[in-house]
Amino acid sequence: MLRSYAQLVTLLSATKALALFPDCSSGPLKNETICDSSATPLDRAKSLVALYTLEEKINATGSTSPGVHRLGIPPYEWWNEGLHGIAGPFTNFSDSGDYSYSTSFPQPITMGAAFDDQLIKAVATVISIEARAFNNANRTGLDFWTPNINPFRDPRWGRGQETPGEDPYHLSSYVHALIAGLQGDSSDPYKRVVATCKHYAGYDMENWNGNFRYQFDAQISQQDLVEYYLPSFQSCARDSNVGAFMCSYNAVNGVPTCADPYLLQTILREHWGWTNEEQWVTSDCDAIQNVFLPHQWSSTREQAVADSLIAGTDLDCGSYMPNHLPGAFAQGLVNETVLDQALVRQYSSLIRLGWFDAPEKQPYRQLDFSDVATNASQQLAYRAAAEGIVLLKNDGLLPLTIDSSTSVGLFGEWANATDDLLGNYYGVATYLHSPLWAAEQLNITVNYASGLGSSSDPTTNFGWMSVWPAAAASDVIIFISGITNDIEAEEKDRVSLSWTGPQLDMIGQLAGLGKPMIVVQMGGGQLDSSPIVNNPNISALLWGGYPGQDGGVAIMDIITGKAAPAGRLPLTQYPSSYTNEVPMTDMSLRPGPTSPGRTYKWYNGTAVFEFGSGLHYTNFSASVNRGLESSYDISELMSTCKQSNETYPDRCAFTPSPIQVEITNIGTTSSDYVTLAYLTGSFGPAPYPKKSLVAYQRLFSISGGSSDIAALNLTLGSLARVDMKGNKVLYPGEYSLLIDN
Positions marked catalytic: 284
Cα–Cα–Cα angle for 164, 731, 720, rounded to 5 degrees? 20
Residue 541's DSSP bridge partners are 393, 519
Stated as kind and residue range, the H or E segment containing 697 is: strand 692-702
In the chain, the amino acid numbered 161 is Q
Quick check: 412 and 373 in contact, CB under 8 A? no
- DSSP per residue, 233-271: HHIIIIIT--SEEEE-SSEETTEEGGG-HIIIIIIIIII
d(CA 256, CA 298): 10
d(CA 453, CA 11): 42
Burial 334-371 (b: 16+ CB within 10 A, else e): beeeebbbbbbbbbbbbbbbbbbbeeeebebbebebeb
Secondary structure of 559-571 in HEC code, one letter for each residue = HHCCCCCCCCCCC
Quick check: 308 and 259 in contact, CB under 8 A? yes
Supply φ then ψ for residue 600, to 5 degrees. -60, -20
d(CA 346, CA 60): 9
Residue 148's DSSP bridge partners are 198
Among 528, 651, 710, which residue's Cα sits nearest to residue 115?
Answer: 710
Using DSSP's 3-state secondary structure scheme, residue 299 falls into coil
Quick check: 289 and 304 in contact, CB under 8 A? yes
Which alpha helices (H) appear in 488-582, and where do they start and end? 501-511, 530-533, 551-560
d(CA 702, CA 708): 7
d(CA 344, CA 352): 12
Packing angle, helices 375-388 and 117-136, rounded to 10: 140
Residue 679 CB neighbours (<10 A): 18
**543, 545, 546, 550: CA torsion to nearest 10:** -30
Using DSSP's 3-state secondary structure scheme, residue 457 falls into coil
- Residues 6 or more apart in contact with residue 227 via CB below 8 angstroms: 168, 589, 722
d(CA 493, CA 244): 27
Using DSSP's 3-state secondary structure scheme, residue 520 falls into strand
Which alpha helices (H) appear in 543-598, and where do they start and end? 551-560
**191-to-76, 349, 695 alpha-carbon distances in Å:** 17, 9, 29
> Cα 95 vs. chain centroid, distance in angstroms?
28
Residue 552 CB neighbours (<10 A): 29
**DSSP symbol at 216:** -
Quick check: 523 and 546 in contact, CB under 8 A? yes
**DSSP symbol at 653:** B
Residue 695's DSSP bridge partners are 677
Quick check: 3 and 68 in contact, CB under 8 A? no
d(CA 542, CA 501): 20
The dihedral built from the CA positions of residue 454, 460, 466 and 467, taken in this order, carries a sign that is positive
Using DSSP's 3-state secondary structure scheme, residue 644 falls into coil
d(CA 671, CA 619): 9
